[in-house]
Chains A and B, each alone.
Chain A
Amino acid sequence: MNAVLDFIAAIGRAAFALIRSAGAIALFALEGLSHAVRPPFYWRVFGVALLDTGFLSLPVVALTALFSGGVIALQSYTGFAQYHAQSAIASIVVLSVTRELGPVLAGLMVAGRVGAAMAAEIGTMRVTDQIDALTTLRTSPMKYLVTPRLLAGVIALPLLVVVADILGVAGGFTVATAKLGFSPTAYITATLNAVKTSDITVGLVKAAVFGFLIALMGCYQGYNSRGGAEGVGSATTSAVVSASILVLAFDYLLTDLFFAQ
């Protein structure tokens, strides 16, 4: 009997801890966003964050999208050839890339690259008193460190996804025409016929949400890190893991919201 009660108590404690964490993250996000509409605004910090999140993530996102588009073309050809449905490859590639793979892969890549960097930088600032130093210099750490990064995430991810969409389709096109013998004109026509504006815009909305979540988890974990180098390491790991899980979870929720009939 006691073992059962202990088990239930353990589940209860875990549930309370999860709720407490969710509440703390929500309050952190609200405070971060509230500074976006209250001047002053740190444009220079925002510019650096935008450069870090967007431009410097371009190579990894571009390569991921390019190869993913090629892989989808190859895999769908292999599968669809059995049913003589190879002509659907162009639409499969463009819909997969714009609706799902572009935002999700870009999100996961940026979570690994930028989310980790944000957590490590802010975490190091926390454990070396730099965040306290900001306060003593009458600068709100939330306004200076968190808000510019949240906004940079929201803006940079959709821009990256535009590039990822183009390169993903280009990857599929290259494989389909160079390796599988498709006509370039027919492939492009099929692609344009398959894709709708809403496919692209929903992908971009997803990207903006993912960008926010990645920056939020990076900032939150870094801001609340404790205990020196080990604490910063844990914060970095937590930022990447939690951001990746949230990207996938919100991808499902947004897909259900926008595409479920």
Chain B
Amino acid sequence: MMEQTPPPSPVPASAVPKIRIRGLYKSFGNKHVLNGVDLDVPAGTSFVIIGGSGTGKSVLLRCILGLITPDAGTIEIDGKNVLSASRREREVILGEIGMLFQNGALFDSLTVWENVAFGLLAPEARRHSDAHPRLTRAQARVRAGEILAQVGLDASVGDLSPSELSGGMQKRVGLARAIADRPDILFFDEPTTGLDPIMGAVIDGLIVDCVKRLGSTAIAITHDMASAQRIGDEAAMLYQGKLVWQGPASSLMNSGNPLVDQFTHGRREGPITMELRR
């Protein structure tokens, strides 16, 4: 039907990618959201997944995080299959991952600094972390102030409630919470959605800074092309539950793939058809 470029292997076969996904399927009733996703994300890479609304980008991230159980396939992090891992192994793997949710997902009942320091204070989170022992509340508060400074927020913001913050500030606090435990892997779910272009660029800049400073592997999902090019080293497009193109993020606007070209340029005509009921 349409030209589809199979995802090239970005790493030599001998190297173990940070994240490796093979044959991932997930359906909700009759709706097949993921339809055999294969993906390799090398360590230290900032990987962007683009795709239209409802194409399964968030579902893919949630499968990797263990929030959704896929119907079939394997997800390996550092060579370990997450899906067959024991509860304790999964807790350890989760400890390597930080997540920035689309709407921030800040805890309403806690102050900003408590949100940022949540993972540093949570007894369950510290249980298997010998490298980063649990902090006292006073220590965590100081640490939260330092992390807030890294995302361009004053420590005084820490005493506010999340509902008192603007959308951009909430995203920055969400980012601060995601990087607080210095994770090896960072996930960003639509990091610039709902922000004005300038604030979107600010958030992208902070994301790039954080990823580089921590040396983390990052996966961002977005349909903001400017954001995708700012954040990503590599990019891929998810369409009808499969990755239909993969390449450098810098070539997103001239990929040569008709699906990607139509999407990135926002053309109505092309191989992608919207299911509109009239």
Contacts and interface: CB of A to CB of B under 8 A. Distances in A.
Interface of A: 39-40, 42, 48, 121, 124-125, 128-130, 132-133, 135-140, 143
Contacts of A125: 107-108
Interface string B153-170: 000000000000000000
A42 B123 CA distance: 8
Nearest to B66: A135
A124 B62 CA distance: 19
B127 A135 contact: no
B122 A137 contact: yes
Contacts of A133: 99, 101, 105-107, 177
B215 interface: no
B124 A130 contact: no
A-B residue pairs, 10 tightest by C-beta: A40-B123, A129-B105, A138-B125, A133-B105, A136-B99, A137-B119, A129-B101, A139-B122, A130-B105, A139-B124
Contacts of A139: 118, 122, 124-125
Given A132-B101, A136-B98, 17 more contacts: A39-B123, A40-B127, A48-B109, A121-B109, A125-B107, A125-B108, A128-B105, A130-B106, A132-B65, A133-B106, A135-B66, A136-B67, A137-B177, A138-B119, A139-B122, A139-B125, A140-B124
B81 interface: no
A138 B122 contact: yes
Interface string B85-116: 00000010011011101110111110000000
14 contacts: A42-B123, A121-B108, A130-B106, A135-B65, A136-B65, A136-B67, A136-B97, A136-B99, A137-B118, A137-B122, A137-B125, A138-B124, A139-B124, A143-B124
Given A135-B67, A138-B91, A140-B124, A129 B103 contact: yes
Interface string B54-78: 0000000010011100000000000
Given A137-B118, A138-B91, A129 B102 contact: yes
A130 B118 contact: no
Contacts of A136: 65, 67, 94, 97-99
Contacts of B66: 135
- Among B65, B97, B99, the one with the most A-chain Cβ atoms within 10 Å of its Cβ is B99
A121 B105 CA distance: 13
A132 B64 CA distance: 13
Given A40-B127, A130-B107, A132-B105, A138 B65 contact: no
A241 to B, nearest CB: 25
B136 to A, nearest CB: 13
Contacts of B97: 136
A124 B109 CA distance: 11
B95 A124 contact: no
Contacts of A130: 105-108
Contacts of A129: 101-103, 105
Contacts of B119: 137-138
A135 B187 CA distance: 14
Nearest to A41: B123
Contacts of B99: 133, 136
Contacts of A138: 91, 94-95, 119, 122, 124-125
Nearest to B62: A132
Interface in B201-256: none
Nearest to A39: B123
A143 to B, nearest CB: 7
Contacts of B103: 128-129
A132 B67 contact: yes
A238 B102 CA distance: 29
B48 to A, nearest CB: 20
Contacts of B102: 129
B19 to A, nearest CB: 15
Nearest to B107: A130
